[in-house]
């Protein structure tokens, strides 16, 4: 399957990334689609479901997040869900076609008192035959190793944006903190899920720097979520301007070229995308989506709408 000399690289130059982002759009998409067909079956999408298992009251001040204690959103905090309720949600997601069940908890890092419960949740969801993914904030090496031993497959920890722009978005932790957690996850032999957010007010240079950072990690992330900011009332970014839709396509096409064997996932913001824009994103190399009625605390396209879109496009589900 590895032909045309298309090999994975982790030595990309920033200028090369900038050149890709600035290519004529159709040239970029054509190159991305050629590479996509070397590494993946065509016309196929992987479905992941995402459940917020602990809501709000997070100490971090991420400007985009309604779950931060620093925001004035109307979100009501909720404690860690009970195991039975999580398993019920996971069963429903599997019945609707999900192969991966992702769970998020709004923490700076996992609480010691809750960690044994988290380990039991992983084991119970894994027993259903689903891939498991968690995002719990920052991890130390011991926590990452415990999660791996419990059966966790993926850990999500997004870099969000460039290192230079990050301090304008978050002040309660650093970009290096994010990189340290990713290192702990890799060292525990967990698969990495790591991407970014488009629409934070960042420049195209920031987007290039983010993609450059992701592509030059010691190993490419197994999954790369590409989020479009959903401005939430009460957060500092509630009045953020929407990015140019074609810029989202450019980021996806560039990510596909830089990280050819990674699943590129359309994540938050799909409610703001037309079916035509989503189709263009799939053509540019996206091959995974979060599906279900909710995406943590924000709306997501309905399952039936997604299935109808896949049918119209001739896209099948990855098993």
User: What residues are labeled active site?
Assistant: 58, 62, 65, 102, 133, 193, 265
Element (H, E) at 37: helix 25-39
DSSP state of 75: P
By the 8 A CB rule, do 264 and 256 touch? yes
Query: Would you list the DSSP string of 169-229?
Result: T-SSS-HHHHHHHHHHHHHTTPEEE--EEE-SS--HHHHHHHHHHHHTSSS--SEEEEEEP
- Going from the C-alpha of 262 to that of each of 39, 156, 220, 287, 314, the distances in angstroms are 9, 14, 7, 9, 22
What's phi and psi for 191, nearest 5 deg?
A: -80, 140
Query: What phi, psi does 129 have (nearest 5°)?
Result: 90, 15
CB-CB contact of 200 with 161 (8 Å): yes
The helix/strand/coil state of 290 is strand
d(C-alpha 140, C-alpha 180), whole Å: 8
Beta bridge pairs of residue 101: 49, 132
Q: How many CA atoms lie within 13 A of 229 on its CB side?
A: 27
> How many other C-beta atoms can be found within 10 angstroms of the C-beta atom of residue 204?
15
Angstrom distance (rounded) from CA 111 to CA 159: 22
**Which SS3 state, helix, strand or coil, does residue 32 take?**
helix
């Amino acid at each position: 399957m590895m032909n045309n000399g298309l090999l994975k690289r982790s030595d990309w130059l920033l200028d090369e990334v900038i050149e890709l982002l600035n290519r004529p759009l159709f040239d970029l998409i054509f190159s991305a689609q050629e590479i996509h067909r070397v590494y993946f079956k065509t016309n196929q999408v992987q479905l992941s479901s995402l459940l917020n298992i602990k809501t709000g009251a997070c100490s971090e001040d991420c400007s985009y997040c309604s779950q931060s204690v620093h925001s004035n959103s109307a979100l009501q905090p909720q404690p860690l869900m009970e195991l039975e309720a999580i398993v019920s949600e996971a069963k429903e997601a599997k019945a609707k076609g999900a192969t991966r069940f992702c769970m998020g908890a709004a923490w700076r890092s996992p609480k010691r008192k809750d960690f044994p419960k988290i380990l039991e949740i992983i084991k119970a969801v894994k027993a259903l035959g689903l891939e498991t993914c968690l995002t719990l904030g920052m991890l130390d090496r011991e926590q990452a190793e415990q999660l791996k031993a419990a059966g966790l497959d993926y850990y999500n920890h997004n870099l969000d944006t460039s290192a230079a722009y990050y301090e304008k978005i978050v002040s309660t932790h650093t970009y290096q903190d994010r990189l340290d957690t990713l290192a702990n996850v890799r060292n525990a032999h967990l698969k990495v899920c790591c991407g970014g957010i488009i629409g934070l007010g960042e420049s195209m240079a920031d987007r290039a720097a983010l993609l450059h950072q992701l592509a030059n990690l010691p190993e490419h992330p197994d999954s790369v979520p590409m989020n479009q900011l959903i401005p939430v009332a009460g957060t500092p970014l509630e009045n953020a301007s929407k990015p140019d839709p074609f810029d989202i396509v450019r980021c996806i096409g560039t990510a596909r070229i830089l990280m050819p064997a990674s699943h590129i996932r359309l994540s938050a913001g799909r409610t703001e995308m037309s079916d035509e824009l989503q189709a263009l994103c799939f053509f540019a190399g996206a091959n995974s989506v979060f599906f279900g009625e909710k995406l943590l605390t924000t709306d997501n396209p309905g399952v039936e709408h997604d299935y109808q879109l896949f049918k119209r496009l001739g896209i099948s589900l990855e098993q």
